[in-house]
Amino acid sequence: MLQLLNWAYGPAGQTDPYYLLLRDFILLMPWWYPLFWAAIIVGYLALRFFKRWRVAHVSRRGSRRVRARTERILDKQVAVLAAERLRQHPANDLDFADQPNTA
């Protein structure tokens, strides 16, 4: 990296303050520093991905639970209606709403 810096600034680089700043940064920066920032960024993105995946997973499970409960309730209602239709009514059971008014 220092060779690249020396090539870019040439022999007059020793007097340039930007050259000195970049040279100090290159010399003082540990080799793991870029990897450290990459790990922080990847970790942050992984946590965001995991959070979104978990919310989607919990929502999917909840919607399955609601759908199953709804189907179970509807099945019970259908069974109750079928049982009422099959239940025998006495012969004198009149539905007065369907009879004409004789009064």
CA distances from 45 to 40, 48, 54, 57, 97 (A): 9, 5, 14, 18, 68
pLDDT (0 to 100) of residue 14:
85
Q: What is the pLDDT of residue 33?
A: 86
Contact assessment for residue 26 and residue 4, using Cβ atoms and an 8 Å cutoff:
no
Per-residue confidence (pLDDT) for residue 15, from 0 to 100: 86
Helix orientation angle between 2-9 and 17-28, rounded to the nearest 10 degrees = 170
pTM (predicted TM-score):
0.44
| Closest residue by Cα to residue 1 from 35, 37, 38, 31 | 31
Secondary structure string (H, E, C) spanning 43-78: HHHHHHHHHHHHHHHHHHHHHHHHHHHHHHHHHHHH
pLDDT at 94: 61
Query: Of the candidates 29, 11, 30, which has an alpha carbon nearest to the alpha carbon of residue 21?
Result: 29
Are 30 and 51 a contacting pair, CB within 8 Å? no
**Per-residue pLDDT at 56:** 92
Name the stretches of the chain with pLDDT < 70. Answer: 88-103
